A and B are shown apart, each in its own frame.
Chain A
Amino acid sequence: MKINFIQFLGFLLFSTSPLFVAGQDTLIQAGSEWKYYDAGNEPSGNWTDLNYNDTSWASGFAQLGYGDGDETTVTDDDARTTYFRKSFLVNNPIQYQSMLLKLLRDDGAVVYINGTEIWRDNMSSGSVSYSTFSNAMVSGSDEDAWLDRQIINNLVVGMNTVAVEIHQQAFSIFNSDISFDFQFLADTFKQDSIIRGPYLQNGTSNSMVVRWRTADLSESILKYSTDINTITTIIQDPMRKYNHEVLITGLQPATRYYYEVYNESDTLSAADSSQYFQTNPISGQAVPTTIWALGDCGSANNNQRAVRDAYYNYIGNKHTDVMLFLGDNAYQDGTDSEYQNAIFENMYEAMLSKTVAWSTIGNHDAHSASPSNQSGPYFDIFSFPKQGEAGGVPSGTEAYYSFDYGNVHFIVLNSESLGGLGTGGSMYSWCQNDIQNTNADWIIGVWHHPPYTKGSHDSDFEPQLFQMRNNFLPMLEANGVDLVLCGHSHSYERSYFLNGHTGLAFSFDSAQHVVGANGGGDGKIGGDGAYLKETIGSNAGKGAVYITAGSSGKKSGGDLDHPAMFSSLNELGSCVVEVQNNQLDMKFVRENGQIDDYFTIIKNMPVTSINSVSKDNRPSLEVHPNPSSDMINITTEAKLKFVQVFDNKGTEIKFISGHPTSISVKDLPNGLYIVAGTTANGQHLFQKLVVGK
């Protein structure tokens, strides 16, 4: 088919492929000579390492493999897994901005550069061994297909090594071949493409921040729409930069928007069904909420990926509403390049592009970042609410802040800055006002240093842990905190349903510190029973569960015998918290998919909804006159259970039970509001209201 000049120009301008500028070096050519090991077992020692001695391995030119007849070098057809290595010299790695790997594989492959895994295809998560089969059989034209993977530069001066293991799918008469070839291309000039993100930050019920990093200076251009086929609304910042941050405002609550990222000449990240952002529901509204919490995840290794994949398998196609990093997100020092490997590349990019990530600062993050002046990579990478824009009281700092998601209020504290942990400090004062200002049904506290742990850290001795327990816990508990999520110790430790335990571990007394008849049990429906947070009787308002969940990247053991803990596990995993109305369920999902612990808290409060927010087939809610400065009339064919009026920050201003036909807005300052009606069956109906003449 011929293409004319205009079509060709259009292709150049609008191709979704990265635009290569100039200067590409080929570090490994297709058809190169490789060392290989096909002895029918796993090579001894760390065969992926740069310095591994592979002199005893055979060598041959690619394509390597057997069974197809197109191989240049035929390897042993008895080997279930065949191992390949190639070393190459790089004198000036800094000249390379980004790199492209191309892989021909049949069936599964794991690729390492200098001992670090950077690509896995057609293989399950977790550790692999000689006997691990690939996920699926590769056949037909796929056997000759080159797969691409863009990576950032992680080469070193001098010798570098690529190591690849090719796994057979299963031995059968239908699959008696393997194939391997590889190319390594490096761009000496910057390449106009996204090298970080896009990722979502600071989501509210009417706004969203989208961030990304480009390899070259470029304009920030973002398009979005609720219709994936008609993405037209555009935001453009002509200032050319590497790190892009776009604030989108005027959005509808609880709505999914698809988005695309551009530079001035190209699509950098095209919309698809998995690239979207979803605005928060209006603060205070009870919607089913899924929270994924990861503590001390930043190992940038396969443990971390296994924990990730176990959660991905758990959640499937369901949307994750909140992603929480509990600190120490990138080892060893929280540098920008460590964040690239531990968070953004070959790690959480699929989740970060559709779910807002929030974080608290860990001690390792603080090696390179300073909460006192909000400087360093941690503060450069994340955008957190300082003005209360996501709900809560304005803190004026990103070191500690709060946000709402539906009927859950999150209070994120900075437990790293020891000097700021006193009861007379600014953070304490802010926190007390914040927790006494929320109307959310659930309150979750988040910080790094756990009040109770006997893992790789000890809460009896270390000052931050001690101070958080002594200073903040009494205040948080007095104001009804329900759940506290921390990291720091690389283990999973989960408490009973507690109140008032601020002493050392030995002083824990279940008769004194456990709340309710079920509080000292397992918290499991079907077991000892869920933990009950009462509103009447002597236990009213008391009880919280404390979780140390710092094993999302590595596990480091410890005594694991804190008496306040129901469960103490030296296992990898992450926490899934699911809130629906008056029930909170938590599961600890291991890296192998097993759920090793779970519990439920049930809160004795009126249930306002049992359905998620749905935009489909909802009756309309009309408000008139609109604008108004006096009385507004409300009409809807639905029968309302109650009506709320929210300001533009999502704060509830009015609550009227029953089905009012009119509401006075005389007392409201001029501005934009949301009138929300909730029906008896839990449907939420919204209408914007302008108060003013």
Chain B
Amino acid sequence: MHKIITILFLINFCNYTIFAHGDLDKRIQAKTKAIAQAPKNSTLYLERGFLYHQHEEWDNALADYLQAQELGLQEKILYYRMAETYLELYLFKSGLICTQQYLAQDSLDVKIHKLRGELFYKSRAYDDAIYSFEYVIQHSVDLTPENYVTLADVYATKGISQKNLALEVIEQGLEKLGSQVFVLQEQKLKYYKKFNLTKQALAQYDIIINSNTRKERWYYQKASYLYQQKKFKAAKTHAEAAKKAFEMLKPHQQKTKAMIQLLANIHTLLQNLENQ
């Protein structure tokens, strides 16, 4: 069902974007003229396909890529673009076939392994996705937090039996990219909560609180978690700490929408705690 809705959305969006303005439209028009003059030039189809691709007009992009292939183009970039497009269209098997054609020409490129990981993950072939994402981590020169989060998420999706592996991947990321990288610290907290590792989750909240200059949001988050865990006394302590941290903010910071909402949430939580 999700797939059908997405495809309907994409079709609708493609119709919508066909009227788009801007440089891309001009470039598509210019490329269309060039194709009219040289209809057998496969590279022109690849180039126009990528312009559609940038517009997220996936069906037009795919039509051009297929035409380029039909005209004999076998460059690996064509297969990469086609695989990307199939991924967007939820046609994972077709996408994987394209990545194999790419790999036949260049088996080492981390970019194609990353794309294969995404295709495997979406098609629920988790072990293959893990293999691909691990390849990316082992062979990339510059890694990003997303590389680790993506791999850890595959393990986490496989279920609670894989929790240690998911957490291990995040630890590797923290070791490689820096112990304070926020996205990885937050991901670690999410896994502790997801796998009901309450003690570790509370300790992880403290790590995040201590690494932040402003602490009001994270005191509140920890208080809410403690409340859910029915640790009311500790929840109250942290909710009060959140309120105190809020009061330390400069007036113009206190008046932002997010902080007004936070203060309201703190008051609600304190009220709930009073009722316990």
Q: What 12 additional pairs, Cβ within 8 angstroms, besides A371-B144, A433-B186? A: A373-B114, A386-B177, A394-B181, A395-B183, A456-B23, A461-B20, A462-B17, A479-B256, A480-B253, A535-B251, A535-B254, A606-B251
By beta carbon, the residue of chain A nearest B215 is: A437
Contact A399 B144 (CB under 8 A): yes
A-B complex: 5 closest residue pairs judged by Cβ atoms: A396-B181, A540-B255, A461-B20, A374-B142, A541-B255
Q: A395-B182, A478-B258, A603-B252 are in contact. Are A462 and B55 (CB under 8 A)?
A: yes
Distance between Cα atoms of A489 and B20 in the complex (Å): 14
Contact B213 A652 (CB under 8 A): yes
Can you list, as one digit per residue, whether each of B118-145 has a CB less than 8 Å from chain A (1) or not (0)?
0000000000000000001000111111
The number of chain A residues with a CB under 8 A from chain B is 59
Task: Mark out the residues of chain A between 369 and 417 whose CB falls within 8 Å of any chain B CB in the assembled complex.
Answer: 370-375, 379, 386-388, 393-397, 399
Closest beta carbon of chain B to A477's beta carbon, Å: 7
Contact A375 B142 (CB under 8 A): yes
Which one of B23, B56, B173, B212 contacts A437 once the chains associate, using CB atoms below 8 Å? B212
Contact A461 B17 (CB under 8 A): yes
Contact A397 B145 (CB under 8 A): yes
Contact A396 B258 (CB under 8 A): no
Closest beta carbon of chain A to B158's beta carbon, Å: 20
Q: Tell me whether B24 is interfacial, beta carbon within 8 Å.
A: yes
Distance between Cα atoms of A429 and B186 in the complex (Å): 9
Q: Tell me whether B75 is interfacial, beta carbon within 8 Å.
A: no
By beta carbon, the residue of chain B nearest A474 is: B257
Q: Tell me whether A454 is interfacial, beta carbon within 8 Å.
A: yes
Which residues of chain A are within 8 angstroms of B177 by Cβ–Cβ distance?
Answer: 386, 396-397
Q: Work out how many contacts link A and B, with CB atoms closer than 8 A.
A: 153
Q: Tell me whether A441 is interfacial, beta carbon within 8 Å.
A: yes
Q: Tell me whether A511 is interfacial, beta carbon within 8 Å.
A: no
Contact B178 A373 (CB under 8 A): no
Task: Mark out the residues of chain B between 162 and 177 whose CB falls within 8 Å of any chain A CB in the assembled complex.
Answer: 173, 177
Distance between Cα atoms of A541 and B109 in the complex (Å): 48
Point out residues on A near B: beta carbons under 8 Å. Answer: 363, 370-375, 379, 386-388, 393-397, 399, 418, 420, 426, 429-430, 433-434, 436-439, 441, 454-458, 461-463, 475, 477-480, 489, 533-536, 540-542, 556, 558-559, 603-606, 651-652
Can you report 27 residue pairs joining A to B where beta carbons are below 8 Å apart?
A: A363-B54, A370-B111, A372-B144, A373-B114, A373-B147, A386-B177, A387-B178, A393-B212, A394-B178, A394-B180, A394-B182, A396-B144, A399-B144, A429-B182, A433-B212, A437-B214, A438-B214, A458-B20, A461-B16, A462-B22, A462-B55, A478-B256, A478-B257, A478-B258, A535-B254, A558-B22, A606-B250
Closest beta carbon of chain A to B3's beta carbon, Å: 18
Task: Mark out the residues of chain B between 1 and 56 whose CB falls within 8 Å of any chain A CB in the assembled complex.
Answer: 16-17, 19-24, 54-56
Contact B114 A372 (CB under 8 A): yes
Q: Tell me whether B151 is interfacial, beta carbon within 8 Å.
A: no
Point out residues on B near A: beta carbons under 8 Å. Answer: 16-17, 19-24, 54-56, 110-111, 114, 136, 140-147, 149, 173, 177-178, 180-184, 186, 212-214, 217, 250-261
Which one of B21, B182, B250 contacts A559 once the chains associate, using CB atoms below 8 Å? B21
By beta carbon, the residue of chain A nearest B217 is: A436
By beta carbon, the residue of chain A nearest B261 is: A478
Which residues of chain A are within 8 angstroms of B181 by Cβ–Cβ distance?
Answer: 386-387, 394-396
Contact A393 B251 (CB under 8 A): no
B136, B217, B251, B256 interface centre (most CB from chain A within 10 Å): B256
Distance between Cα atoms of A417 and B178 in the complex (Å): 23
Which residues of chain A are within 8 angstroms of B254 by Cβ–Cβ distance?
Answer: 535
Distance between Cα atoms of A458 and B26 in the complex (Å): 13
Which one of B110, B136, B146, B253 contacts A420 once the chains associate, using CB atoms below 8 Å? B146
B20, B21, B54, B180 interface centre (most CB from chain A within 10 Å): B21
Distance between Cα atoms of A479 and B21 in the complex (Å): 32
A375, A396, A604, A652 interface centre (most CB from chain B within 10 Å): A396
Distance between Cα atoms of A90 and B218 in the complex (Å): 66
Distance between Cα atoms of A615 and B256 in the complex (Å): 36
Contact B250 A436 (CB under 8 A): no
Which residues of chain A are within 8 angstroms of B140 by Cβ–Cβ distance?
Answer: 373
Closest beta carbon of chain A to B119's beta carbon, Å: 13
Contact A396 B257 (CB under 8 A): no
Distance between Cα atoms of A388 and B253 in the complex (Å): 21
Which residues of chain A are within 8 angstroms of B149 by Cβ–Cβ distance?
Answer: 426
Which residues of chain A are within 8 angstroms of B145 by Cβ–Cβ distance?
Answer: 395-397, 426
Distance between Cα atoms of A10 and B21 in the complex (Å): 64
By beta carbon, the residue of chain A nearest B143 is: A373
Q: A388-B180, A437-B213 are in contact. Are A458 and B146 (CB under 8 A)?
A: no
Which residues of chain B are within 8 angstroms of A426 by Cβ–Cβ distance?
Answer: 145-146, 149, 183
Distance between Cα atoms of A371 and B147 in the complex (Å): 12
Contact B182 A461 (CB under 8 A): no
Contact A536 B255 (CB under 8 A): yes
Q: A373-B142, A605-B250 are in contact. Are A480 and B213 (CB under 8 A)?
A: no
Distance between Cα atoms of A371 and B146 in the complex (Å): 11
Which residues of chain B are within 8 angstroms of A535 by Cβ–Cβ distance?
Answer: 251-252, 254-255
Closest beta carbon of chain B to A629's beta carbon, Å: 19
Which residues of chain B are within 8 angstroms of A379 by Cβ–Cβ distance?
Answer: 142
Which residues of chain B are within 8 angstroms of A462 by Cβ–Cβ distance?
Answer: 17, 20, 22, 24, 55
